[in-house]
Amino acid sequence: MNDLNMNRLPVPTWNQCGVNSAPKAAALPAVPADDWGEVNLAFTLPAGVGEAEEDFTTFAESGMGAETDAFLLGNANVRSALTVAEGVEVNDPVQFEVTLDAAHPTALSVFSLDAKAHSSVTLVQVVRGDAENGVAASLTRIRTGEGAHVKLVQIQLLGSKARRWNAVAVEEGPGAKVEQVRVELGGSLSACGTRAMLGTPKSEYDLDAVYFGGEDAVLDYNDVSVHTAKDTLCEMHTAGVLTGNADKILRGTIDFRRGAKRGVGHESEDVLLFSPHARNRTAPLILCGEEEVEGQHAASIGRLDEAKLYYLRSRGLSEAQARRLMVDARFAPAIEKIPLEALREEVRAEAARRLDETC
Amino acid sequence: MRAFETEKTDVAEVDRSIYDIKDKPNAAFEVNSGLTPEIVEKISEEKNDPEWMRIFRQKSLRIYNSMPVQNWGPSIEGLDMSNIVTYVRPKTEMRGKWSEVPDDIKNTFERLGIPKAERASLAGVGAQYDSEVVYHNVKAEVAAQGVVYTDIESALNGPYAEMVRTHFMKLVPPTDHKFAALHGAVWSGGSFVYVPAGVSVEIPLQSYFRLNAPGAGQFEHTLIIVDKGAYLHFIEGCSAPKYNVANLHAGCVEIYVGENARVRYSTIENWSKNMYNLNTKRAKVEKGGTIEWVSGSFGSHTSCLYPMSILAGEGARMEFTGITFAGAGQDLDTGAKVVHAAPNTSSHITTKSIARDGGVSNFRSSVTVLPNATGSKSAVSCESLMLDDRSRSDTIPEMDIRCDAVDVGHEAKIGRISEEAVFYLMSRGLSEEDARALIVGGFAEPIAKELPVEYAVEMNNLIHLEMKGSIG
Amino acid sequence: MSSPLLEVKDLQVTVGEEQKVLLDGLNLTIYPGETHVLMGHNGAGKSTLMSALMGDPRYTVTRGQIIFKGQDVTHEPADVRAKLGMFLSFQTPEEIPGITLENFLRTAQNAITGKPVKVFAFRKELAQQMEALGMDESYADRYLNVGFSGGEKKKSEILQLLMLKPSLALLDETDSGLDVDAVKTVAQGVRAYHNKDNALIIITHNAKILEGLHVDYVHVLDDAHIVRTGDGSLVNEIIEEGFRALKEDEAK
């Protein structure tokens, strides 16, 4: 039995399924005696984005849970609290790029974004590099005012040695929209969890997530959309590829609380398995305490369709090309939302490279 | 503590008078409340257990006492085990003929339509009254085919004793969960069915369980062994009179489906609304065999019911069709589990959940595909209908896929009755209440059509009764 | 003359919380044996009128009265109106899974007549009517309108009309989206239904459904009102010249 207090399934099920919380392998790193060291960080702050005088004092917990949040808040060696003023539309993305290497193996970041009413902004977070015992962990907290629009784009391109934790918490104002794009391609551990609180009318949360798990990677996700107000909407869609001995758990929950009248939530996962040794666990929950809602989820797990593969090969594609094409098609909805052309191409190439290497 | 213990019969509730007739408790033997090795020993003595069963019960009791209560699912806080009288045996011996069954017991059965159902060509009735089988009859033609249908106590000491010993609680070991352990310690009554190879039992075998004594637990054990190429349809129906003390049902059903055999197991569960129904059902299916579960859950205060299928042989199949309807005060947590443990196995789970009047109707499932189960397929589809905003319906599926050559699909939907559809039906002259009942009946139809016709009719009546007074 | 079947007096109908007015000050009187045709632009209020007459809960009558067979039904639910003899053929009939067409018709007939349905007579009549409408008998066992094509749904509506025998039939674009043969069948069904004791209100854009029917009155709706009432000849006038000519007419 594991009792790690991280990525908890909002309503537990049979313990032997092992999905009620994150596995031991996802345990947070031990706090060093001295300090966490320096971080190799590059960033771009476009005009219109200001640094907040102080960080949020209270905030709803992330999908990974309060314990993980507290760890990051207490240990961060990178902190950034940003704000976008009312009505300001920021066209260029805010960019944070962390690179792990032997001299900078640890990055514990806390990002806060306070997007005031009717503002709009895109926040791009890239994590790359690799290091023995490397750690790239972050907590991102986003609060949106009325009618604000925030796009959070998270790209993780780590090597196979580093471990990754990615906690996101969202609180939305009326008519606001938060779109999250989460691409997780590497790491010996990829543990992520977003929790969106849709507590005001007409607020919306969208997630387009992509993961690639190879070798002995452990992937553990917990995404929750909590609907408490009228006319709230969520679209949570994930596509993934598992190869090698990868072991993945995806928990996706749409939680309609009483009062979430006319709430709508759609959730899906499409998993491609490329190895007989990979393990995929999926627990897509719909919790419902309100009559007037529409909730749906769908999951599809399996190999590439042989007939399709054959069709593509009959048109002259190699098996690897055909495979890439099919994976591309599944990853496209997320990748196309990446605002920077170069980054988009890099992600495509990186996904293809990892696929070719492991399959 | 839940409120049910003090709750009075709700006047708005279905007229259950036909189900709620109580005979005065008239038991020959009752154990003291609470569970000790001495009590379990007493059960063994009373039942004339063979030595291995005596040991098995004691072992199960130790497991029961050392195991924690589950930390997930519905609350069973309201269940006080020290309050449950585990063993109540009516003053009657086994009867072969209906005319010899004591009148008060007979009256209860007649109110439930048992003899009539039997006349309606049912193969045999092993109706359990309290904890002991009191009425048992296998039609000559079934017996002539070599089919054994008897109470399990007789089987334990009869010519099939060895078969019982090698199969009893092998699918559901006492270590499975706390209430399986309890069952192992205090089980009493139930059916044993053996269908020899190649025999197709054309008429369904039916057993009717009910509880009658205040605070009595029911721990019947059903053991079904269907040999190669044989076919059996077994029907289990439940009804119990209403008492205001928590009642517990922790029965156990074990089904062995031989190579290329097919078993259909149908249940309409309609326990009174103070019952804790913590039943465990499991089937193991050999090569080319099929298990079909049809399950309707309407009664009980709290239910945890997830029939499990182990697809152990190549090409084994399972189908689960279920409906759960929870009304006021009910917390029904139902679903199915399947383990694909051989190549080219398939599973198909289709369920419907309905919640109204503050009831909780949850769907829970687990699909596991083991590494050797290449070429397997699984499809899960669950749909929930919310009839008001005071009720709850959670969908909690889980899939564990450890093999790549598979095709696993899952879909779930939740919603409510379309107001447009209600208006359409009303424009054809139906009252709002009837229109809603008709739509809910239609929602349940895919399940109803899997049931034998008399059960489908009963289920439809139940839905209509449950829907009465749901407007305004 | 006999007493009117339907009287609509100064009807105002609104929709939604903001009480948007869809019909205003509408008057209409219909006697048994008559056929009325409603025409007008999309959005003129034709379908709203029919829905309001049938008691669709999405619409609110904020003023005026609907009197059917001498009884004020303005605020009665749809089933009460249906029992009194009103019938609406829906523009987009609902799909109801799990209930077969036959079962549904029997339930509805029983609800309307209040008497148990005689099974054999019912089956026989159903088979006859379905044959007349060119519906395969297997449709009786299919779930109500589920997976029916547009044409099949409209035939299912007319089948219900023929089986339930209301005294007032409201046909909301029952002929739209149908091929030539289907329109003929549907028109035939309407003719078979119509007699001196019942009345029809028909919304149509192309008049195909009117074939063989004597149209007594044509009402043109525009902007929440009836702007003009004429005899049957108005139908062709409008189809040929459109509503514009009509409006100009009115302006003169």
| CATH number for C133 | 3.40.50.300
Task: Count Cβ atoms below 10 Å from residue A33 Cβ, excluding itself.
Answer: 5
Does pLDDT of A193 surpass 90?
yes
The number of domains in chain B is: 2
Predicted confidence (pLDDT) at residue B131 exceeds the cutoff of 60: no
Asked if B412 and A286 come within 8 Å (Cβ–Cβ), the reply is yes
Average pLDDT over residues B299-321: 96
Handedness of CA B416, B418, B423, B424 (dihedral sign): negative
Show residues of chain A in contact with B413, CB under 8 Å.
Answer: 295-296
pLDDT at C9 over 90: yes
- pLDDT number for residue B130: 45
pLDDT of residue B241: 54
* H-helix segments, chain A: 66-75, 306-314, 319-335, 341-358
- Best of B366, B368, B399 to substitute, by most chain A Cβ atoms within 10 angstroms, is B399
Complete DSSP assignment for C25-60: EEEEEE-TT-EEEEEE-TTSSHHHHHHHHHT-TTEE
At residue B464 the predicted structure's pLDDT band, cuts being 50, 70 and 90, is: confident
| Kind and range of the H or E run holding A142 | strand A135-144
Sign of CA dihedral B433, B436, B441, B442: positive
Judging contact as 3 or more Cβ pairs under 8 Å, the answer for C and A is: no
Give the single-character DSSP code of C190. H
pLDDT bracket for residue B372 (50, 70, 90): very high
Residue B138 has pLDDT above 70, yes or no: no
Look at residue B33 and tell me whether its pLDDT is greater than 80: no
Q: Is the pLDDT of residue B30 over 50?
A: no
Distances in whole angstroms, Cα of residue A351 to Cα of each of A330, B96, B350 = 12, 72, 37
Task: Give me the pLDDT at residue A312, please.
Answer: 73
Residue B2 above 90 pLDDT? no
State the ipTM, two decimals.
0.91
- The residue among B43 and A345 whose pLDDT is bigger is A345
Lowest-confidence pick of A189-193, B446-450, C240-244: C240-244
Give me the pLDDT at residue A223, please: 98
- Among C194, C252, C219, C239, smallest CA distance to C23 is for C219
- C107: nearest CB among B423, B432, B438: B438
Edge-to-edge, what's the strand order for the sheet holding C199-203?
Answer: C86-89, C168-172, C199-203, C35-40, C217-222, C225-230
Percent of all residues in chain C with a pLDDT value above 90, rounded to a whole number: 60
What's the total number of domains in chain C? 1
Residues of B with CB under 8 A from a CB of A: 71-73, 364, 366, 371, 374, 384, 386-416
Number of Cβ within a 10 Å radius of residue B72? 16
Neighbours of C245 (CB within 10 A): 12
Residue A102 backbone dihedrals phi, psi, to 5 degrees: -55, -35
Q: What is the pLDDT of residues A134-174, one digit of tens each?
A: 999 999 999 999 999 999 999 999 999 999 999 999 999 99
Q: Which domain does B223 fall in, by range?
A: 27-305
Average pLDDT, chain B: 81
pLDDT band at C65 (very low <50, low <70, confident <90, very high): very high
Q: What is the DSSP letter of C94?
A: P
Contact B406, B378 (CB under 8 A): yes
Question: In which domain, by residue range, is C48 found?
Answer: 4-248
Q: Which pLDDT score is estimated for B96?
A: 55
B152-204 pLDDT, tens digit each: 888 999 899 999 999 999 999 999 999 999 999 989 888 899 999 999 998 88
Q: Give me the pLDDT at residue B77, please.
A: 79
- Tens-place pLDDT, residues B61-102: 999 988 888 888 898 877 766 665 544 444 445 455 556 655
The radius of gyration of chain B from alpha carbons, rounded to an integer in Å, stands at 22
CA angle A200, A206, A208 (to 5 degrees): 165
Segment C56-69 shows an average pLDDT of: 94
Given an 8 Å threshold on Cβ–Cβ distance, is B413 in contact with A277?
A: no
Instruction: Count helices and strands (H / E) in chain A.
Output: 4, 18
Q: Kindly state the tokens that stand for B393.
A: 């319906």
- Rounded Cα distance between B405 and B374, Å, is 5
Range scoring the smallest mean pLDDT among A227-231, A243-247, B223-227, B247-251: B247-251
Question: If you average pLDDT over residues A287-305, what whole number do you get?
Answer: 91
Q: Give the tokens for residue B424.
A: 């359409």
pLDDT confidence of residue B103: 66
Instruction: Compute the average pLDDT of residues B222-232.
Output: 97
DSSP one-letter string for B370-400: -TT-TTEEEEEEEEEEE-STT-B--EEEEEE
Q: Give the closest of B403, B405, B410 to A298, CB-based.
A: B410
Scanning every residue of chain A, which has its alpha carbon at the shortest distance from the alpha carbon of B373?
A276
Rounded Cα distance between B9 and B29, Å, is 29
Q: Which of A173, A171, A106, A115 is nearest to A134 (CA)?
A: A106
Extract the tokens encoding B146.
């070599």
Residue B359 covered by a domain:
no
DSSP designation for C5: S
The residue ranking higher by pLDDT, B95 or C73, is: C73
From B428, B431, B444, residue closest to C98, measured CB to CB: B444
Q: Return the bridge partners of B401, or none.
A: A280, B369
More confident residue, A190 or A323: A190
C-proximal residues of B, 394-453, CB under 8 Å = 418-421, 423-432, 434-435, 438-439, 441-446
Q: List, for residues A33-79, the tens digit of each pLDDT value.
A: 888 999 999 999 999 999 988 889 899 999 999 999 999 999 999 99
Q: What is the mean pLDDT of residues A251-280?
A: 95
Q: Residue C240, Cβ neighbours under 10 Å: how many?
A: 8
**Listed residue (A126, A124, A113, A121) closest to A150, CA to CA:** A121
Please write the tens of the pLDDT for every residue from B388-437: 989 999 999 999 999 998 999 999 999 899 889 999 999 999 999 889 98
pLDDT of C2: 79
Flag if B389 and A289 touch (Cβ within 8 Å). Answer: yes
* pLDDT score at B245: 58
pLDDT band at C18 (very low <50, low <70, confident <90, very high): confident
- Residue B377 to residues A275, B265, B346, B351, C164, Cα–Cα distance (Å): 17, 22, 5, 18, 47
Highest mean pLDDT among A52-56, A92-96, B212-216, C39-43: A92-96
Task: For residue B404, list chain A residues with Cβ-Cβ distance below 8 A.
Answer: 273-276, 278, 302-303
Beta strands in C43-184, from DSSP E residues, in sequence order: 59-68, 71-72, 86-89, 168-172
Distance CA C56, CA C145 (A): 20
B5: pLDDT confidence band, cut at 50, 70 and 90?
very low
- Chain C residue with CA closest to B429: the answer is C79
Question: Which pLDDT band holds residue B135 (cuts at 50, 70, 90)?
Answer: very low
- Of the pLDDT bands very low, low, confident and very high (cuts 50, 70, 90), residue B9 is very low
d(CA C38, CA B160): 80
Decide if pLDDT at B288 tops 90.
yes
Is residue B79 in a domain? yes
| Mean pLDDT, residues B220-236 | 95
Q: Would you give the distance in Å from CA C225 to the centre of its chain?
A: 19
Global model pTM greater than 0.90: no
Both tokens of residue B52? Answer: 């291995």
Bridge partners, residue B301, by sequence:
none
Mean pLDDT of chain A: 93
pLDDT band of residue C34 (cuts 50, 70, 90) is very high
Please identify, among B287, B305, B323, the residue that sits at the C-terminal boundary of a domain: B305
Given this model, what pLDDT does residue B139 score?
Answer: 56
Instruction: Residue A103: count other Cβ atoms within 10 Å of its Cβ.
Output: 9
Percent of chain B with pLDDT over 70: 75
